[in-house]
Amino acid sequence: MNLYVPKIISGTEMIAVKLNDIANLELDDIGILTPKSNEILSEKVDITITPGIGFTKKGGGLGYGRGYYDRWFSTNEVKTKIGISFEAQIVMNLPLEKTDINMDLIITEKEIIRPKK
């Protein structure tokens, strides 16, 4: 099994790079540990785990407003998109855009939410 993690490469672009060893991580420009490697994802993705500031029970998610994940999802085929958050971050409504990509599952410390499609 291969594990890929997000790596920000510009103000608007994120790529998925292979994580071979956690000893080979470095701090990026915003203080997030990312792989030194730039071995880019070249296969279909079975599962993604996506953080968010908030999610709705319909699968909508709110990030930090730069759209990295939405742009990445729009160009990469993903079988199951999982959002992770605390229960307190699940809300009724969020200010979502047409370009926002919904999650297939949302996992909190208390429940697994399966949005209806």
- Each residue's pLDDT tens digit, 16-69: 888 888 888 988 877 888 888 777 777 778 888 888 899 999 999 988 777 888
Q: Which residues pair with 14 in a beta bridge?
A: 8
Classify residue 60 by its DSSP letter: -
Alpha carbon distance 114, 102 (integer Å): 11
Chain region(s) in the chain for CATH 3.40.50.10420: 44-117
Q: What angle do CA 50, 108, 27 make, to 5 degrees?
A: 40
Enter the CATH code of domain 44-117.
Answer: 3.40.50.10420
Alpha carbon distance 103, 23 (integer Å): 31
Classify residue 30 by its DSSP letter: T
Closest CA to 16 of 59, 68, 52, 67: 68
* 51: its two tokens: 């953080």
Alpha carbon distance 29, 33 (integer Å): 10
pTM of the predicted protein model? 0.80
- What is the per-residue pLDDT across 2-11, written as a single tens digit (0 to 9) for each? 788 888 888 7
